[in-house]
Structure 1
Amino acid sequence: MNYDIFVSHASEDKDEIARPLALLLQKYGILVWLDDFELTLGDSLRRSIDYGLSQSHFGVVILSHAFFAKEWPQKELDALVAREDGQGKVILPIWHNLGKNDIIKYSPLLADKLAASTSKGLPNVADKIIRAIQKNYNKCNVIKSACGINYDTLRNLLESSQWKEANQESSRLLIRSSGREVLGPLDMPGMIGTLGDRDIYELPCQDLKILDKLWSKYSYGRFGFSAQAGIIAEINGENIWDEFCHRVGWNHSKIIYELHSPVGHLPTPPPHYHIHHVDTDYINNMDRALWWNVATILARFKECTVEKSVQDK
């Protein structure tokens, strides 16, 4: 499927609720189908909506007096109900200027569903939608490391949005997959299991891809090597490191362990063997050795994706 959610709404609720909510969810990396975003002049309304409904994992339905007064939004709801009968949870209801008794009057079946309410603010609604999506997405398939590493801890940390712990676990796993040992906690100063150039060039492609897939999956594409490599590819000029730091939010600032961090903000790289003091909560864009680690890891990741493309041909 191409979208995380389809937003079903009455036109009267578009400006106040549907569009602002869709834009807010997009900031968190959620792929949203909203007619405003997808329809252009001359498009078939019915076909476009049919496509959006069929290509979205979930349907966010903004229930209001205007919604129940119109035929078209209720047809969208009927389509989502039909999908839910065969696929499990699909409908994520949002109450707008409605109470429990109103919902019971309009649709007793919907009254039984746990819903978010716009009376608590759109950030609260967006948070509940994100949590519902995270909880209901299937877990990754069996993860097979090229060097016998277990990724269950990382997956569980990412699934529960423990971004700081997941970042530290990723560094440990990268170091272990290189054949080196982690000599202590990654948030302690000192020389603790670092990566050199040769270590990075020999990182197993399979494990790099696993790390990227997990970060990308649970951040909805915001984090991971793919996101960072995409940013690097967009930068031209000589000061690539400074521009990269600016875009991912690493300019003389503490790491933000939140989903709303800039795209590419996580994961941060393990320390380079030239760095003798480690502060995993802070990145200085003057650390050129650290930049070398970032660039080398992303170069190795790109090499791995090229290898995969060649094998697929």
Structure 2
Amino acid sequence: MATVSLTSVLNIDYRPLQALLEAGSWLEADRLSLQLLCRAAGEGATRRGWLYFSEVSRIPVEDLRTIDHLWRAASEDRFGYSVQRQLWLGVNRNWERLWPIIGWKQGHHWTRYPDEFTWDLSAPKGHLPLSNQLRGVRVLEELLTHKAWEDSSG
């Protein structure tokens, strides 16, 4: 796995996420990623265990990039928010076109969490992380349009 700088302006320890990803423990890494996003977004999100779309902008650029870089490094650039963003932009921000590409929906059937998701590298590109984003597109849209991706290769 490529070396990733574990940068955090909030002093969040990303080593547990790195260890889960390096071990290929994708489901556990996904759950921890949600916890880390909540922590980076603030006390309210941490207490609830999920994000409001309006809290995503509070996540520091450096922290979101660190989480993304860890996912990308462990998955050979198959998984990560920036990967999902590239795919989403590639379908002109059309959610209905994105879902089947990343394996979250087939026809009229939504992929059910956690059992119907693929928790290994055979998953479609962009399949992970979920980070509980199946609640609707607003949080995911905020993540994919976050300022972390401005002036970035991600």
TM-score where L is the length of structure 1: 0.43
- The residue identity in structure 2 corresponding to 1:298 is L
1:225 aligns with 2:72: no
- The residue identity in structure 2 corresponding to 1:140 is V
Out of 12, 25, 29, the position equivalent to 1:166 is 29
Deviation for aligned residue 1:149: 0.5
* Change in 2 beyond 3 A, CA 1:206/1:249: same
* Change in 2 beyond 3 A, CA 1:244/1:162: same
- The residue identity in structure 2 corresponding to 1:267 is P
Deviations 1:233-272 (A, max 9, x none): 11138xx11211111000112221111100000001345x
Indicate the percent of aligned positions where both proteins have the same amino acid. 28
**Which structure 1 residue ranges, 5 or more long, are not aligned?**
1-136, 184-191, 272-282, 284-288
Q: When the two structures are aligned, how many residues end up with a matched partner?
A: 144
Partner of 2:97: 243
CA distance in 2, matches of 1:147, 1:223: 24
CA distance in 2, matches of 1:170, 1:182: 12
**Which structure 2 residue ranges, 5 or more long, are not aligned?**
none
CA distance in 2, matches of 1:194, 1:138: 29
Partner of 1:304: 148
- The residue identity in structure 2 corresponding to 1:293 is V
Deviation for aligned residue 1:145: 0.5
Instruction: Say if 1:174 and 1:270, in contact at 8 Å, map to a contact too.
Output: no
TM-score where L is the length of structure 2: 0.84
Structure ranking higher in strand proportion: 1
Instruction: Say if 2:34 and 2:50, in contact at 8 Å, map to a contact too.
Output: no
Partner of 1:179: 42
Deviation for aligned residue 1:197: 2.5
Instruction: Say if 1:269 and 1:293, in contact at 8 Å, map to a contact too.
Output: no
Deviation for aligned residue 1:182: 3.5
Out of 269, 273, 277, the position equivalent to 2:131 is 269
Q: Which structure is richer in relative contact order (CA contacts within 8 A, separation 6 or more)?
A: 2
Aligned CA-pair RMSD: 2.0
Deviation for aligned residue 1:292: 1.2
* Larger of the two Rg values belongs to structure: 1
1:154 aligns with 2:25: no
Deviation for aligned residue 1:201: 1.4
CA distance in 2, matches of 1:307, 1:198: 22
* Change in 2 beyond 3 A, CA 1:269/1:150: same
Deviation for aligned residue 1:144: 2.3
Partner of 1:255: 117
Partner of 2:70: 214
- The residue identity in structure 1 corresponding to 2:56 is I
